Structure 1
Amino acid sequence: MRARDIMTNPVICVRPGTSVREAAQVLTRHRFAALPVLDDDSRLIGIVAESDLIRNRIPADLRGNIWEADDDVEREAPPGTVGEVMTETVVAMTPGADVADIAEHMLEHHVRSMPIVDGSRVIGIVSRQDVLRTMVRTNDAVAADVRRHLRAYASSWGSWEVSAAEGVVTVHAELPPDDGDDTTKRVVIALARAVPGVSRVHVEPRNGE
């Protein structure tokens, strides 16, 4: 399964001069976790996440001690633009990136969204929610997509039966008798694993081998 299979596209981006308020409105309206930040040449220069917009912006409720309210006058105004709060060091991946690698990076570096780029152009974004959605697809939907992949790329190999249960796909296939190096079996596994929601693939021969 590759980034292109699950990414959100087109992706909404902002500029460094976008106001923090406007960026917050976009995040809440579309239920995004982060927004890529582009320069005037549409190149990726950063990412702004929910935490960036919230940091140092929500004042304490002083109703319990009104004498502390005077301190509020001395505080500096919070940053007003995305360019002032965004994270400039941002990792991006390509449409062909393995979703497993994206998920591992997200967990290791505590990020919730991964921009997907083609050269210097942002073409999509993968969020943790996108990854999670692949885990809750129905068994019938997963099996149907595997069948479509096999029909599209392996229609000349004979017939097969596909079943799915909790991300585990079993393919009963007519493997050619001369497939001593398991080439066909490996191709079937690769095609099935490209389907969102597939975690493991078992190939069972139907020709008695």
Structure 2
Amino acid sequence: MSVLPLVFTSGWASGINAYAVVLLLGLFGATGVSDEVPASLQRADVLVVAGVLFLCELVADKIPYVDSVWDSVHTVVRPLAGAVVAALLAGGSGSLPELAGGAIGGSTALLSHLVKAGTRMAVNTSPEPFSNIAVSTAEDLGVAALVAFALFHPWIAAGLAAALLLLGLVTLAFLASRIRRFRRRRAQRREEKRLAGSASPWPGG
């Protein structure tokens, strides 16, 4: 099996939820579901750490504004994880150099991360939390389904990942104005808090 479509799909999924990708691939490899998963992803310590971090993301990703902070922190983590996972997959196959695999996985993860982070900024302009929960749950299920599907039908999964990435970029372009309003409003709130703090009298003054 050509590893290129699996590398691309894992890169897209890592940009959405890198910990879920590592956890799923590791479990599929450890349980013998797939022999495409390198042994380094099947290690018990890797699975435990990925599982704990996945649970943290599962919660943080569904809380308004907390999800945007979490995304900001993971601007480096997700592309790096996508590159590492892709390089490991490519290194064990012999059909794609590790460096090229890492570049494909990392760049794809970066694009899908930017789509996710930008979409969440737009979603956070809505005051209710249910849209965050719905979007986050859809992302989690989509990542799990596509990663599992990619192990058995890699080219179809890669096509779906490419379509989702393109759709996300187009959607993000439409949401750009809403995101800019969100950033302006957040900056205004920070400025108002700063001014309120500077105007407060000193205790006992």
Taking structure 1 as the reference length, the TM-score comes to 0.27
Greater share of residues in strand:
1
Greater share of residues in helix:
2
Taking structure 2 as the reference length, the TM-score comes to 0.27
